[in-house]
Amino acid sequence: MVALRRHQLVRLNAAGWGALQERPWDDAARDCLAHWAAHHLPLVVTQQRDGLSDGRLALGLPAPLQWQRRRFALQASLCDVSYFDEFPAAAEVTLLLPAAVRAAWRVLVRELEAFDAAPRVYGSVGWQRLTGLAYLHAASDIDLRLSVADAAAADAVAACLNDAAFTAPRIDGELVFADGSAVAWREWLAWRAQRVDRVLVKRLHGVAMEAGDTWLREGLRC
């Protein structure tokens, strides 16, 4: 079985798209899925719920503005996956940002790369970069996926984001440990500062409010 990860992209083959399009969709959904299939656009790995049959993947398609930002929960067979892919690196989305903030964005990206955080952009900005379709609106945030090796690295990356001169659009996103456990970077800061005694940890198979650091120590052993 492939080692799946949250925010991992999936490219389906023709058989996979055919199977998805055979479902009894409404006209708008059918139109959106037909566009995705015709342009070989990706789907994203979502929470792998209990009850999925062996060899089936839970996938998502967050539609752009022209399809009212509709969210599709889909399933596909692993054998219909052509290959797995990734959201764009943070440096690749610079031109989607307002001109006035691009220099500050480049500085922030270099700082994050210096921490080996391998920043990638998902959410509206990432999907617009991938598809060329309109996802961004006035309230759009930038969602970053940031790889961290341990708690010290997570502290450094979160502090970098907290202290960044880049203030708009708002930067959201997750610190992702080697075992796939992920914590929103602002929630990590609050937890480490003991402003809260629990932290929401997201994993491929579910989410949990964790107290203490057992979850973190176990994850670092992976």
- d(C-alpha 7, C-alpha 204), whole Å: 9
Contact 115, 156 (CB under 8 A): yes
Catalytic residue among 27, 31, 50, 141: 141
| 27 is annotated as an active-site residue | no
> SS3 for the chain, per residue?
CCCCCCCCEEEECHHHHHHHHCCCCCHHHHHHHHHHHHCCCCEEECCCCCCCCCCEEEEEEECCHHHCCCEEEEEEEHHHEEEEECCCEHHHHHHHCCHHHHHHHHHHHHHHHHCCCCCEEEHHHHHHHHHCCCCCCCCCCEEEEEECCCHHHHHHHHHHHHHCCCCCCCEEEEEECCCCCEEEHHHHHHHHCCCCCEEEEEECCEEEEEECCHHHHHHHCC
| 143 is annotated as an active-site residue | yes
Catalytic residue among 85, 116, 143, 172: 143
Contact 174, 185 (CB under 8 A): yes
Catalytic (active-site) positions: 141, 143
